[in-house]
């Protein structure tokens, strides 16, 4: 692991984590949007997953010019989820947010979300409204679904978060680091951002600032544009043998939900109600789970047949 530049003095209150891999096309724009914040006391932690394009040079140039940027380069590609986790491990701020290298944030994103969290001590995450931009930055329209979870009950919050926002934009909100550290973060399986948000909902509310603060870029090279089994495998576990569990969406999510519930600081009654909800969802998805189990048995058999 190699690093370059560091924030001088005490740890800043906010960390922006940027996990990157071959991100040269849009990286400068993402970094510029982070550095243009009206709230200036923050660090940007960039964790490069052994990029082979011009990402390294761009990061080193920005780190040399702005001491708020801390650049780390992994010796090998850890996979996307592991790199998201790694950049959080390297962060020092009491508040944390992820920023992908092809997305943008508004200049007031940190300021507005920090105010929202300070105004609601029981909230664990604050985010703004989301909008889409195209490959060249053209506006594609707002994302209309709300991301707030204002219920007092963790049972109600969990139910709501598992039924809303399939884009998982809230995972790019500002979070309390101490709470995020208590979760399992992102796992090496498809849709682990869904399970992370569900787990966070067990710890507190999500608040939404009614202003466009997050701009998600839609382009042909984005991971979300190429959701084949091969693409998922390369995204999460590069260089490893393909595993059926990566795309076992229904059964893996129910399993991770149950683990999060058992681990969370909840009453026995709330845990029982939440586990009952997970069991009901698993029953509704029984056909999908059966199909995933069938695939899980086929992939090792096919691999063994190919070696014979």
Q: What structural domains does the chain harbor? A: 2-223 (3.90.550.10), 242-307 (no CATH)
Indicate whether 145 pLDDT > 90.
no
pLDDT the model gives residue 10: 81
Task: Kindly tell me if the per-residue pLDDT of 300 is higher than 60.
Answer: no
For 166-175, b where at least 16 C-beta lie within 10 A, e where not — what string? ebbbbbbbbb
Q: What is the band of 139 on the pLDDT scale with cuts at 50, 70, 90?
A: very high
pTM: 0.88
The secondary element (H helix, E strand) that includes residue 127 is strand 123-133
Please report the pLDDT score of residue 268 as a whole number.
98
Q: What mean pLDDT comes out for the span 280-304?
A: 76
Residues in the chain: 308
On whether the CB atoms of residues 62 and 51 are closer than 8 A, the answer is: no
- CA dist 219 and 134 (Å) reads 6
Higher pLDDT, 8 or 91: 91
In angstroms, the Cα distances linking 195 to 4, 64, 190, 191, 261 are 33, 37, 10, 7, 11
Band of pLDDT at residue 144, cut at 50, 70 and 90 = confident
Distances in Å between the Cα of 211 and the Cα atoms of 34, 127, 141, 205, 242 are: 17, 9, 13, 18, 41
> How confident is the model over 47-73, as a mean pLDDT?
97
Q: Are 87 and 9 in contact (CB under 8 A)?
A: no
Q: Is 184 exposed, middle or buried (0-12, 13-18, 19+ CB in 10 A)?
A: middle
Q: Answer yes or no: is pLDDT of 246 > 70.
A: no
Query: How do residues 94-103 score in pLDDT, each as one tens digit?
Result: 999 999 999 9
Mean pLDDT (the chain, rounded):
89
Question: What percent of the chain is predicted at pLDDT more than 90?
Answer: 72
Q: pLDDT digits over 179-188, tens only?
A: 999 999 999 8
- Give the mean pLDDT of 63-88: 96
Using pLDDT thresholds of 50, 70 and 90, give the confidence band for residue 3: very low
Residue 47 has pLDDT above 60, yes or no: yes
Quote the pLDDT of residue 301.
Answer: 46
Residues facing residue 132 across a β-bridge: 141, 216
pLDDT tens readout for residues 187-245? 988 889 999 999 999 999 999 999 999 999 998 776 555 555 566 656 666 765 555 45
Does residue 7 carry a pLDDT above 80? no
Instruction: State the pLDDT at residue 235.
Output: 66
End-to-end CA distance of the chain: 39
């Amino acid at each position: 692991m190699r690093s370059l530049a560091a924030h001088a003095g005490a740890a800043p209150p906010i960390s922006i984590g940027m996990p990157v891999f071959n991100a040269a096309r849009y990286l400068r724009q993402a970094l510029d949007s982070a550095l243009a914040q009206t709230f200036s006391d923050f660090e940007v932690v960039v964790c490069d997953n052994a990029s082979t394009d011009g990402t390294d040079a761009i990061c080193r140039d920005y780190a040399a010019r702005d001491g708020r940027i801390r650049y780390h380069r992994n010796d090998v590609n850890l996979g996307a989820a592991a790199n998201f986790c790694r950049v959080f491990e390297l962060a020092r701020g009491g508040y944390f947010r992820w920023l992908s290298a092809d997305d943008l944030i508004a200049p007031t994103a940190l300021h507005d979300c920090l105010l929202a969290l300070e105004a609601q001590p029981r909230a664990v995450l604050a985010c703004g409204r989301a909008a889409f931009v195209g490959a060249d930055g053209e506006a594609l329209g707002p994302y209309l679904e709300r991301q707030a979870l204002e219920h007092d009950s963790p049972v109600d919050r969990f139910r709501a978060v598992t039924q809303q926002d399939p884009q998982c934009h809230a995972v790019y909100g500002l979070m309390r680091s101490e709470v995020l550290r208590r979760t399992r973060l992102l796992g090496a399986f498809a849709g682990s951002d869904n399970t992370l948000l569900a787990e966070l909902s067990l710890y507190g509310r999500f608040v939404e600032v009614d202003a466009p603060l997050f701009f998600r870029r839609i382009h042909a090279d984005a991971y979300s544009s190429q959701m084949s089994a091969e693409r998922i495998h390369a995204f999460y576990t590069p260089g490893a043998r393909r595993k059926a569990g990566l795309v076992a969406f229904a059964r893996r999510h129910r399993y991770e939900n149950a683990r999060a519930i058992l681990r969370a600081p909840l009453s026995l009654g709330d845990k029982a109600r939440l586990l009952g909800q997970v069991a009901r969802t698993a029953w509704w998805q029984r056909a999908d789970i059966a199909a995933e189990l069938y695939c899980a048995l086929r992939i090792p058999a096919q691999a063994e047949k190919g070696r014979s």
